[in-house]
């Protein structure tokens, strides 16, 4: 399947004509903040130039530890524009995990807010980096984030290439007591593929998308490509989502299965039923069939589900006839080749039941291990998803187990160091 590859993911925020005036981001809260595509383009240009002026450029790592907010999105695309490597950190992890990541990747800059600064602790002593703090009164010896957005002459280099590394991602469990010691390195080319499952939902510039997922989930890039509006919900509850729907015509929701349940429970309790939802995407696991059906009927919408791991993004979509295929994780996306074989090798006879291997341009090329990139080891281009599956006669997949060594974070599976 042919797919044009952007030479720079930062270009997704650039829109012409009426598209530039359209609202790109809305940060939901008591005092909602909104940014147009033109403003987002200008702010990311400024931040990119400020980083270049500080000696941060192609291949340098910038760690960002923020809730899902407008400033996080600005960091994301500013890094992409100059070829820096974006390293997002879950704001729920603790000092030990932050120290581990900083010790591994030696960032040139760390961006956080005053509330999360305590979790950084002594980690700042591990690297020669600039500490940038979002907020009105940053502590001494730190740089205010607003300083990176001040006007200045901008001349960004056209240095970013599809195979340049764009993002580094370390996975931690929700309990933050055990974690994957191997970082996942994604290139611009790979990340451009990871947004495709969301794009297949039919996003357009008229859509208003509610997202509770950090931007390393590809929903952000799909929204930006479509020119839609992305409503960011930093601290999600079902009640908050319903209130958000009363203020904005939310046509698309991207969330985890547990968040869909929260929305349904809140609607049952309050009687509020938003009717603008056109489609939803549940990532990371399958919804309970009864809950799935009730949500679709109550909100008069359609839910799609995806399974995957960070090494290759979403690899399977729930089928359109989901009610008749309870337990199915859907069919493998058309831009992927798939084989069901033994756990040891994808070669040999294909099976109806066994371990799922896939081959695709969306698969990463490198991990980050022991402070440096390490090429991905696969067998003739085939990657083991770690899922034990059964395939029926119409190529729908059913998980029967996940027995390979993996971490689970946010209900998504990630490989551990072997």
Q: What is the DSSP letter of 348?
A: S
pLDDT value of position 339: 93
Name residues whose C-beta falls within 8 Å of residue 321's C-beta, 6 or more positions apart in sequence: none
pLDDT value of position 372: 92
Nearest-5° Cα angle at 150, 15 to 106: 90
DSSP-H helix ranges across 5-69: 18-21, 37-53
pLDDT value of position 51: 97
Please count the other Cβ atoms lying within 10 Å of the Cβ belonging to residue 354: 19
pLDDT value of position 277: 95
CATH class of 29-160: alpha beta
H or E element that contains 192:
helix 188-194
Pairing between strand 397-401 and 383-391? Answer: antiparallel
Please count the other Cβ atoms lying within 10 Å of the Cβ belonging to residue 299: 21
For 309, the token pair is: 């791991």
Of 410, 87, 25, give the one whose Cα is nearest residue 255: 410
pLDDT value of position 240: 93
pLDDT value of position 326: 67
H or E element that contains 388:
strand 383-391
Q: Could you list the pLDDT tens digit for every one of the 418 residues in the chain?
A: 455 556 689 999 999 999 999 999 999 988 999 999 999 999 999 999 999 999 999 999 999 999 889 999 999 999 999 999 999 988 888 888 888 889 889 999 999 998 888 878 777 676 689 999 998 777 888 899 999 999 999 998 777 899 999 999 887 754 444 556 788 999 999 999 988 888 888 899 999 999 876 646 788 999 999 999 999 988 889 999 999 999 999 999 998 888 999 999 999 999 999 989 999 988 766 778 788 889 999 999 988 888 877 788 888 887 766 666 767 888 899 889 999 998 888 887 778 899 999 999 899 999 998 899 999 877 888 988 888 899 998 888 988 876 555 555 544 555 543 3
pLDDT value of position 111: 96
Q: For residues 23 and 231, what is the distance between their CA atoms, to the nearest angstrom? A: 10
H or E element that contains 30:
none
* 3-state DSSP assignment of residue 23: strand
* 3-state DSSP assignment of residue 351: coil
Q: For residues 228 and 333, what is the distance between their CA atoms, to the nearest angstrom? A: 24
Q: For residues 32 and 218, what is the distance between their CA atoms, to the nearest angstrom? A: 23
DSSP-H helix ranges across 61-177: 70-82, 95-105, 117-120
Of 44, 57, 120, give the one whose Cα is nearest residue 85: 57
261 φψ region: left (φ > 0), alpha (ψ -120 to 50), beta (else) = alpha
């Amino acid at each position: 399947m042919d797919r044009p590859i952007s030479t720079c993911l930062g270009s997704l925020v650039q829109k012409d004509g009426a598209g530039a005036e359209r609202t790109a981001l809305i940060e939901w809260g008591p005092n909602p903040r909104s940014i147009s595509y033109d403003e987002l383009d200008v702010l990311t240009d400024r931040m990119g130039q400020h980083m270049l002026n500080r000696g941060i450029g192609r291949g340098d790592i910038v760690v960002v530890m923020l809730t899902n907010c407008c400033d996080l999105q600005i960091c994301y695309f500013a890094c992409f524009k100059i070829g820096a490597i974006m390293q997002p950190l879950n704001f729920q992890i603790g000092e030990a995990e932050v120290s581990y990541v900083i010790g591994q990747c030696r960032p040139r800059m760390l961006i956080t807010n005053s509330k999360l600064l305590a979790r950084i602790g002594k980690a700042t002593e591990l690297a020669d980096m600039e500490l940038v703090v979002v907020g009105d009164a940053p502590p001494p010896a730190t740089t205010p984030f607003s300083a990176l957005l001040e006007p200045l002459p901008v001349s960004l280099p056209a240095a970013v290439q599809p195979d340049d590394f764009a993002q580094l991602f370390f996975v931690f469990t929700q309990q933050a007591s055990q974690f994957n010691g191997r970082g996942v390195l994604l290139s611009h080319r790979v990340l451009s593929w990871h947004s495709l499952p969301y794009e297949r939902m039919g996003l357009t510039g008229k859509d208003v998308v509610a997202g509770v997922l950090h931007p390393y989930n590809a929903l952000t890039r799909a929204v930006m490509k479509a020119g839609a509006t992305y409503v960011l919900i930093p601290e999600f509850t079902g009640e908050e989502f319903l209130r958000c729907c009363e203020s904005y015509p939310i046509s698309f929701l991207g969330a985890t299965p547990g968040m869909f349940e929260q929305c349904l429970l809140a609607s049952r309790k309050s009687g509020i039923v938003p009717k603008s939802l056109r489609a939803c995407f549940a990532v990371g696991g399958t919804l309970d069939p009864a809950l799935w059906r009730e949500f679709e009927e109550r909100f008069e919408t359609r839910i799609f589900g995806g399974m995957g791991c960070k090494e290759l993004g979403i690899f399977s979509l729930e089928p359109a006839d989901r009610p008749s295929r309870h337990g199915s994780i859907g069919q493998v996306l058309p831009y992927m080749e798939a084989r069901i074989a033994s756990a040891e090798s994808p070669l040999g006879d294909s099976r109806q039941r066994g371990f799922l291997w896939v081959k695709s341009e969306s698969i990463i090329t490198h991990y980050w291990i022991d402070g440096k990139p390490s090429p991905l080891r696969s067998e003739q281009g085939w990657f083991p998803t770690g899922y034990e599956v059964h395939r029926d006669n119409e190529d729908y997949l059913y998980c029967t187990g996940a027995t390979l060594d993996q971490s689970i974070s946010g209900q998504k599976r990630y490989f551990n160091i072997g």
